[in-house]
């Protein structure tokens, strides 16, 4: 039976083939979701890698070439490039095709991509909340999206059949799918992802600029907590620059809250208010438990860096 | 030959038997470092667990009972209890015994413990920079200290033979040993451990207090970065309250630097200064590489939560 069922998409075009694009290629192949998978990548080395790893059937330098004949187009570059790519593919994208993306900010997709697409092309923005600190086509793996959430933010007047197909795509790659407005997405991700990255980048920067403590000491004694921040602060610089520039309002709002709370904590330390500290530290422990219970985290101590008794 | 070599210590008394105490008991047994290991724990349940797991040969409710006849005493409770324990054991501790500790703040040990000990007892404060987010005697494992640093901060007039024995103890448990002043230790750990914990606790608190984003959304979409902070923010509340109350000056100084840098970053976002962001994010990536190169971190993506291709 399976052999006679046509794949969900005839031809999928991945514009950009980094960690997310290559993981999608592998996950789509595994589930037989597309008859053909092609990609566009500016760098010849990236195109060669994508072909060598068997991620795609063909690789193009220009997005406009890759989207010809595609009924699914996935924007998977840093989000700052979305506007230019949309302008490039708008004139050649096939009628009825679905354009989606995997960017970490969503309101800007409607703003930067939407205006360039013909009316008979369906824009269904999406964001798989999954990743590692590694980048590039060699870091992808088919299981990246399993048991992770993918958030779709279609505009109010979206074609529901197109939305259903994108839901089916992500579900077939193992993800759980949620739908919300782009504005709400950007607020939720500002606190669960963007501000955490910002403060991780910030403390790693602060630590490396000290005079009284050497960089070699910071590295030697990083197991006390600091090293966990460096993982986050090792994420792709271009991707993260674009996120902060394109989710400015929500990030600044959440950062304002964070700093307000931090100031209260600073004051509690200065005045020796042990109960205030103890109460917060007890409350935060419960949230960790909820995340482990929700299957979004492993309970292995120390992230399984070293298993007890092994 | 090994059978006839006497162990490094005749009788080791662990005052407190949580993650670090139980890991020390297991590591000391494995390496045959003490003829006998005993512990003191206030809670009857903890004493029963320690005996059931074979961590210790005897368990006492009172520290003063546990230290009788011991030539090594390790303070392994939250640091806020050190002063009272020192006052309790001072009158009964054996001449020539070594008193050490595993606390995360070191100047306060000289201040709170030193004055209670007789002159013929050797105080050699220590801090193994190792741990997980789990607590209690059941979370210990013998390998916790392997390839991790243990910092010793003996006072200037310390007995060098006593210092050598504590160095030998940690080396035999697999740790690398470094020596520095208590003041410098407290500054180094403020930036590599204490401030990272504080901002992790803080952002988890901020996220759980929002109105526009529900707690269930924070939990669902935590894989975007937030969950890494919750691991740190799940550490023992009593231990961490005591750390902030006892390393106030260094924590406030480092926190001041952090906030200053964060304000600059906030401004760069507000004004759309992409190059400032990109430069910082590139610099921090290099520090991550140094930590992995120094063997203080695994390079497995996502802390080995999920192996690529598995």
- SS3 for A36-60 is EEEEECCCHHHHHHHHHCCCCCEEE
Task: Kindly determine whether residue A140 and residue B308, on different chains, have CB atoms separated by under 8 Å.
Answer: yes
Q: pLDDT by residue (tens digit) across B78-117?
A: 999 999 999 999 999 999 999 999 999 999 999 999 999 9
CATH code of B85's domain: 3.40.50.720
ipTM of this predicted complex? 0.89
Q: Which residues contact B296 (CB under 8 A, 6 or more apart)?
A: A219, A220, A222, A223, A227, B147, B148
Whether chain B has a CB inside 8 Å of the CB on A198: the answer is: yes
Structural domain including A237 reads 184-298
Give the angle A64-A69-A71 at the CA atoms, nearest 5°. Answer: 100
* B166/B208 same-domain check: no
Q: What angle do CA A197, A198, A203 make, to 5 degrees?
A: 100
Strands A176-179 and A149-152: parallel
B14 with B107, same domain: the answer is yes
- Whether B217 has its CB under 8 Å from any CB of chain A: the answer is yes
Pair A66, A91: CB distance under 8 Å: no
Shortest CA distance from B234: residue in chain A: A285
What three-state secondary structure class fits B73? strand
Contact between A90 and A124 under an 8 Å Cβ cutoff? The reply is: no
Cα–Cα–Cα angle for A283, A284, A287, rounded to 5 degrees? 100
Residue A310 included in any domain: no
Please spell the DSSP secondary structure of A179-195, one letter per residue: E--HHHHHHHHIIIIIH
pLDDT value of position B65: 98
**In-domain check, residue B4:** no
B65 and B196 fall within a common domain: no
Q: For residue A191, is it within any domain?
A: yes
d(Cα B102, Cα B75) in Å, to the nearest integer? 6
Band of residue A1 on the pLDDT scale cut at 50, 70, 90: very low
CB A21 within 8 A of CB A140: yes
Residue A306 in any domain: the answer is: no
Q: Does B45 share its domain with B122?
A: yes
**CB spacing of A233 vs B291 below 8 angstroms:** no
Q: Residues A166, A233: one domain?
A: no
Q: Please identify, among A136, A160, A180, the residue that sits at the C-terminal boundary of a domain.
A: A180
The full DSSP string for A78-108 is -GGGHHHHHHHHTTTSPTT-EEEE--S--HH
pLDDT for position A83:
98
Please check whether residue B92 lies inside any domain of the structure. yes
Report the range out of A219-228, B247-256, B290-299 with the highest average pLDDT. Answer: B247-256
- In this complex, do B224 and A193 lie within 8 Å of one another by their Cβ atoms? yes
Q: Are residues A159 and A202 in the same domain?
A: no
Q: Kindly state the tokens that stand for A190.
A: 């500002």
Residue ending a domain, among A155, A180, A205, is A180
Chain B contact for A241 (CB, 8 A cutoff) = yes
* Contact B211/A at CB under 8 A: no
CATH number of the domain within which B195 lies = 1.10.3660.10
Q: Is any Cβ of chain B less than 8 angstroms from the Cβ of A305? A: yes
Among B180, B200, B225, residue at a domain's last position: B180
Q: Out of A159-168, B2-11, B52-61, B63-72, which region has the weakest mean confidence (pLDDT)?
A: B2-11
Q: How confident is the model at residue A131 (pLDDT cuts 50, 70, 90)?
A: confident
Give the nearest partner residue to A240 out of B140, B234, B281, using CB atoms: B281
Query: Is residue A309 pLDDT above 50, yes or no?
Result: no
Chain B contact present for A196, CB below 8 A: yes
**Same structural domain, A82 and A119:** yes
pLDDT digits (tens, 9 = 90+) for B165-220: 999 999 999 999 999 999 999 999 999 999 999 999 999 999 989 988 988 899 88
Which helix or strand (DSSP H or E) is residue B288 part of?
A: helix B274-293
Asked if B203 and B261 sit in the same domain, the reply is yes
DSSP H/E element including A162 = helix A160-172
B113 shares a domain with B17: yes
Residue A310 predicted with pLDDT over 60: no
Q: Which of A30-34, A83-87, B74-78, B282-286 has the lowest mean pLDDT?
A: B282-286
**Residue B100 backbone dihedrals phi, psi, to 5 degrees:** -130, 180
Note whether A103 and A163 are same-domain residues: yes
A252 shares a domain with A152: no
Report, as an integer, the average pLDDT of B1-22.
Answer: 88
CB contact under 8 Å between B223 and A197, yes or no, is: no
pLDDT above 80: residue B307? no
- Count the domains in chain B: 2
Q: Mean pLDDT, to the nearest integer, of A30-34?
A: 97
Q: What is the mean pLDDT of residues B42-58?
A: 98
Binding-face residues of A in 77-96 toward B, CB within 8 A: none
Least Cα distance to B284 among A102, A36, A206 occurs for A206
Query: Which helix (H) or strand (E) is A212 found in, with range?
Result: none
In a domain, B290, yes or no: yes
Question: Could you say which of A144, A219, A284 has the minimum Cβ distance to residue B291?
Answer: A219
Q: Residue B257 has which token pair?
A: 């630097």
Residue B300 falls inside a structural domain: no
Cβ <8 Å between B196 and A287? no
Per-residue pLDDT band for A228 (boundaries 50, 70, 90) equals: confident
Which member of A220, A257, A296 has the closest CB to residue B222? A296
**Number of residues that make up chain A:** 310
Cross-chain residue pair B221–A149, CB shorter than 8 Å: yes
Q: Same domain for B213 and B143?
A: no
Please write the tens of the pLDDT for every residue from A76-124.
999 999 999 999 999 999 999 999 999 999 999 999 999 999 999 999 9
Q: Is residue A308, in this structure, part of any structural domain at all?
A: no
Q: What is the C-alpha to C-alpha distance for residues A111 and A13, in angstroms, rounded to an integer?
A: 22
């Amino acid at each position: 039976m399976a052999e006679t069922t046509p794949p969900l998409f005839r031809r999928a075009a991945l514009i950009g083939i980094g960690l997310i694009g290559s993981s999608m290629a592998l996950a789509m192949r595994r589930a037989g979701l597309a008859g053909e998978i092609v990609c566009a990548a500016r760098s010849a080395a990236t195109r060669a890698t994508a072909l060598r790893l068997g991620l795609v059937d063909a690789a193009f330098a220009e997005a406009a070439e890759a989207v010809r004949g595609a009924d699914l187009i996935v924007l998977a570059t840093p989000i700052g490039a979305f506007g230019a790519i949309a302008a490039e593919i708008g004139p050649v994208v096939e009628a009825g095709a679905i354009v989606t993306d995997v960017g970490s900010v969503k309101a800007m997709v409607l703003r930067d991509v939407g205006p360039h697409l013909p009316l008979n092309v369906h824009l269904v923005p999406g964001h798989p909340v999954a990743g590692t600190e590694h980048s590039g086509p060699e870091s992808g793996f088919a299981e990246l999206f399993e048991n992770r959430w993918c958030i779709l933010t279609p505009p109010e007047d979206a074609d529901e059949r197109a939305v259903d197909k994108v839901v089916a795509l992500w579900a077939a790659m193992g993800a759980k799918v949620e739908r919300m407005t782009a504005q709400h997405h950007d607020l939720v991700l500002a606190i669960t992802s963007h501000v955490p990255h910002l403060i991780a980048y910030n403390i790693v920067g602060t630590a490396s600029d000290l005079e009284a403590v050497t960089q070699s000491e910071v590295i030697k004694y990083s197991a006390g907590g600091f090293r966990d921040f460096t993982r986050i602060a090792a994420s792709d610089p271009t991707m993260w620059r674009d996120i902060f520039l394109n989710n400015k309002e929500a990030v600044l709002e959440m950062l304002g809250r964070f700093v307000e709370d931090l100031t209260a904590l600073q004051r509690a330390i200065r005045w020796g208010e042990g109960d205030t500290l103890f109460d917060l530290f007890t409350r935060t422990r419960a949230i960790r438990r909820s995340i482990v219970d929700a299957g979004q985290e492993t309970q292995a101590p120390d992230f399984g860096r070293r298993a007890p008794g092994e």
